Amino acid sequence: MKLKLLVDMDLSPAWIGLLHNAGYAAVHWSEIGSASASEEELFR
């Protein structure tokens, strides 16, 4: 299983590119759900 990082809404989506360039799988919170979604909802 490959670890995928979830970048919090408090951080810029620009972190995604930096993490990908460093070899990490990452997704920004805003890409997978509403800004007002709970953490529990996003992890489902």
Provide the number of structural domains found in the chain: 1
Among 8, 1, 4, which Cα is nearest to 23's?
4
Look at residue 41 in the predicted model and tell me its pLDDT.
78
Mean pLDDT value across residues 13-32: 94
Mean pLDDT value across residues 11-26: 95
pLDDT at 3 over 70: yes
Tell me the sheet residues that pair with 6. 27
The pLDDT mean for the chain works out to: 87
Q: Is the pTM of this model over 0.75?
A: no
Q: Which domain holds residue 12?
A: 4-43
Q: Which one is predicted more confidently, 37 or 27?
A: 27
Look at residue 1 in the predicted model and tell me its pLDDT.
64
